[in-house]
Amino acid sequence: MNAAIGKVAVCGAGAMGSGIAQVAAQAGASVHIFDVNAQALDASRARTLADLDRLAARGKLSADEVRAIGERMQWVSTLDALADRDLVIEAIIEDAGIKGQLFEQVEAILSPEAIIATNTSSLPISRLARGLKRPERFIGMHFFNPATVMKLVEVISGAATDPAVAERIRATAQSWGKVAIPVADVPGFIVNRVARPFYGEAFAALNEDAADAPAIDALFRAAGFRMGPLELTDLIGQDVNFAVARSVFDSYFGRTRFVPQLRQAALVDAGWFGRKTGRGVYDYRDGAPRAADPQVPDARFSDTHRQAIAALKDAVPGTFLRCGALFVGTTQGRTARQESDSLGAPVILFDWSPADAAGPIGFTLSDERARPDVFGLLAAQSRAGVEIADRPGMIVARTLAQLANAAADAVLEQVADEQGIDAALRYGANYPYGPFAWADRYGRGALVRLLDGIADGTGEALYRPSHYLRNRA
Give the catalytic positions in this structure: 142
Residues 6+ apart with CB under 8 A from 223: 352, 353, 354, 357, 359, 396, 400, 432
How many CA atoms, within 13 angstroms, populate the side-chain half-sphere of residue 56? 16
- Walk across the sheet containing 320-323 and list its strands: 320-323, 326-330, 347-350, 361-365, 385-387
CA–CA distance, 72 with 183 (Å, rounded to integer) = 31
**Reduced 3-state DSSP string for 105-150:** HHHHHCCCCCEEEECCCCCCHHHHHCCCCCHHHEEEEEECCCCCCC
Give the angle 15-20-22 at the CA atoms, nearest 5°.
95
Query: Are 115 and 143 spatial neighbours (Cβ–Cβ below 8 Å)?
Result: no
CA–CA distance, 361 with 338 (Å, rounded to integer) = 21
Residues 6+ apart with CB under 8 A from 235: 227, 274, 275
Neighbours of 8 (CB within 10 A): 28
